[in-house]
Amino acid sequence: MLSFENTEIAFKSKSTPDLKRAYWLFKIVSSPIIVKIGKVATNFALSLRLPIRKIVKATIFKQFCGGESIEDCRNKMEELATFKVGTILDYSIEGKTTDEDFEQTVEIIIQTIQEGINNKNIPFAVFKVTGIGSIILLEKASDQNCILNESQILELEGIKNRIERICATAHSAMIPVFIDAEESWIQAIIDSWALEMMLKYNLEKAIVYNTLQMYRHDRLEFLTSCSENAKKHGIKYGIKLVRGAYMEKERARAQKLGYPSPIYPDKNASDDAYNTALKFILEHEMLFALCAGTHNEESSLLLTQELERKQISRDNDKFYFAQLLGMSDHISFNLSNAGFKVAKYVPFGPVKEVMPYLLRRADENTSVAGQTGRELSLIIKELDRRKKN
């Protein structure tokens, strides 16, 4: 019987000093006040170019990132491979605005795919469309009432061309690639492009995956349309299923602009939608390939049960679990130990460039009910176990 309570398996890859560092990090981020002060202080120190890089790199960066470059991540990849956990290299820089920066990001994403050609422990690549194109233009392109001028149409074609190059490289290497989900007001054009790439590259197997944020109350209907497109066009529809990452921003914008919030009113409704989506995909498993990106124990257990019910082999690479590096090791490592396909998102990039990502991780652990408390209780349990042995 699979259990997420086995801390010996969960933390086998961690030394006792690693666990103690993680304990203090999660202890700190359990306090909203400390996180708020810490964010302000960190941003202030970085803006003044104060020498805090070493402190950040030895603490929160070490917990949640693999390194500053692909090469830096190789030790972490090998460590994860020892426990049959794959690596998804995630170039986690944000806020770029120039074509030169967008092109550089595309080249690095392509390098993550090429890294996987000779490394079987890299089952997927990933990118965000906002990392390779203007968010302002994506918003305009997603608005049916907005008419783009000639210059904007050309710029939009440039973004699509970058996506095409990434997906073409992934298809050539036969390494699937996730297109990450974004805010609802820029998602429509991303959904359209994702399907267009699937029609071209997903005829034999799922190479391109779109990401569905199930805290949006329209995504179950969208998932039904995905199955219809898969049947109609004879493609394998790749889905990465997540709960969602922009809840507060989505609700604030909806309130400010006076339209209904696209987000479910509470966590239970989001959880139900996520689990309903899992069941739907398994009921139509011939049409889909799935990566369940979740830190939720109930959803993870449900997927294992659905796979068993459908008599789908645990090592079938059409069905993956994924969690972020530094979080939910009790889910990742117990699943891999039981023979399921599991991968960790391993963010990388220069320390200063990945700070927005790291600060979001701090926010997430502060705001998600029970997340930090669960991490802390498991770490304490494992430290106690080691003391007794």
Tell me if 158 sits within 8 A of 133, measured CB to CB: yes
Question: Tell me, what's the pLDDT at 72?
Answer: 96
Cα separation, 90 vs 74, in Å, equals: 13
Establish how many alpha carbons lie within 13 A of residue 361's alpha carbon, considering only the half-sphere containing its beta carbon: 26
What tens-digit pLDDT sequence spans the chain (389 residues)? Answer: 788 999 999 999 999 999 998 888 888 766 666 556 555 556 656 565 666 678 878 888 888 999 999 999 999 999 999 999 999 999 988 778 899 999 999 999 999 999 999 899 999 999 999 999 999 999 999 999 999 999 999 999 999 999 999 999 999 999 999 999 999 999 999 999 999 999 999 999 999 999 999 999 999 999 999 999 999 999 999 999 999 888 888 999 999 999 999 999 999 999 999 999 999 999 999 999 999 999 999 999 999 999 999 999 999 999 999 999 999 999 999 999 999 999 999 999 998 888 777 776 666 655 554 677 888 899 999 999 999 88
- List the one residue out of 123, 289, 127, 277 whose CA is nearest residue 206: 289
Q: What is the DSSP string of 103-164?
A: HHHHHHHHHHHHHHHT-TT--EEEE-GGGSS-HHHHHHHH-TTPPP-HHHHHHHHHHHHHHH
Establish how many alpha carbons lie within 13 A of residue 161's alpha carbon, considering only the half-sphere containing its beta carbon: 9
Domains delineated in the chain: 1-65+355-389 (no CATH), 66-348 (3.20.20.220)
With H, G, I as helix, E, B as strand and everything else as coil, classify residue 11: coil
Q: What is the DSSP string of 43-55?
A: HHHHHTT-S-HHH
State the chain's maximal CA–CA distance in angstroms.
70
Instruction: To the nearest 10°, report the CA torsion of 195, 201, 207, 213.
Output: 0
Q: Which helix (H) or strand (E) holds 320?
A: strand 319-324
Question: Tell me, what's the pLDDT at 389?
Answer: 80
Instruction: To the nearest 10°, report the CA torsion of 362, 363, 364, 368.
Output: 120
With H, G, I as helix, E, B as strand and everything else as coil, classify residue 91: strand
* φ, ψ of residue 229 in degrees (nearest 5): -65, -40
Question: Tell me, what's the pLDDT at 47?
Answer: 63
Sign of the dihedral through C-alpha 163, 169, 170, 172: positive
Question: Tell me, what's the pLDDT at 368?
Answer: 52
Question: Tell me, what's the pLDDT at 337?
Answer: 97
Question: What residue has token string 């050309």?
Answer: 154
Question: Tell me, what's the pLDDT at 74?
Answer: 96
User: Per DSSP, what are the bridge partners of residue 179?
Assistant: 127, 210
* φ, ψ of residue 178 in degrees (nearest 5): -90, 135
Question: Tell me, what's the pLDDT at 133?
Answer: 96
What pTM, to 2 d.p., does this model score? Answer: 0.93
Q: What length does the chain have?
A: 389
Q: Which helix (H) or strand (E) holds 238?
A: strand 237-242
Residue type, 291: C
Question: Tell me, what's the pLDDT at 35?
Answer: 54
Cα separation, 312 vs 310, in Å, equals: 5
Question: What residue has token string 């918003």?
Answer: 139
Cα distances from 72 to residues 36, 67, 89, 322, 346, in angstroms, run 30, 5, 11, 21, 11
Sign of the dihedral through C-alpha 243, 261, 94, 169: positive
Q: Which residues contact 368 (CB under 8 A, 6 or more apart)?
A: 295
What is the CB neighbour count within 10 angstroms for residue 369? Answer: 8
- List the one residue out of 293, 297, 361 whose CA is nearest residue 322: 293
